[in-house]
Amino acid sequence: MANRIYTDPTQPGRISVEQEGRSALSIRYNEHTHSLRLHSENEQRVFIIERQPFSARLQLFSEYGIRTGTCRFDSHHPLRGSLEVEGVRMRFRTEGNELALEVDGKAIDRFTWSAAGRSPEELAGILMLVGREELRPPVFASWRRHLG
């Protein structure tokens, strides 16, 4: 299975994230409240996106008001920038229909994704949740721990 982020045609407004070795994610963005609902096999969460006044920085807060991420878009290219998720800094860039995530200049993952037509808040939220998922161990690694 290839890594991909796509809009689910059966449920408008829902974004699905599929990654090899991980459970699927479902993200629904609410444009009016700038909130994201995250559903996965093990977790259901709500996150809020806030834009700081007079800044290009967008922040992701958990439903408990705890800041869990920050996104900055490069001024010269709207689909490139940096993320900080749970204390880890990443770079992201899109080229055509591909999203690449990097840590310390090394690619950590690539996704097929068409980001066209999305608001900066929605893009930032999706990017931060995908980055957050990258920091978690794959599903099969947690199974190995349980099997001994």
**43-93: pLDDT as tens digits:** 899 999 998 887 778 999 999 999 999 999 987 776 899 999 988 999 999
- Reduce the DSSP state of residue 145 to 3 states and report it: helix
Q: What is the C-alpha separation between 97 and 122, in angstroms, rounded?
A: 17
So where are the chain's domains? Answer: 4-135
How much is the pLDDT for 41?
Answer: 87
Token reading at 95: 């080229």
The model's pLDDT over 97-110, given as tens digits with 9 standing for 90+, comes to: 889 999 888 888 88
**Across the chain, what does the average pLDDT equal?**
84
Going 88 to 130 to 30 to 76, the CA torsion angle's sign is: positive
pLDDT interval class at 147 (50, 70, 90): very low
Q: What is the C-alpha separation between 63 and 48, in angstroms, rounded?
A: 7
Tokens 């066209």 belong to 116
- Reduce the DSSP state of residue 134 to 3 states and report it: helix
Q: What is the pTM of this model?
A: 0.80
- Architecture in CATH of 4-135: Beta Barrel (2.40)
How much is the pLDDT for 116?
Answer: 66
Supply φ then ψ for residue 69, to 5 degrees. -170, 160
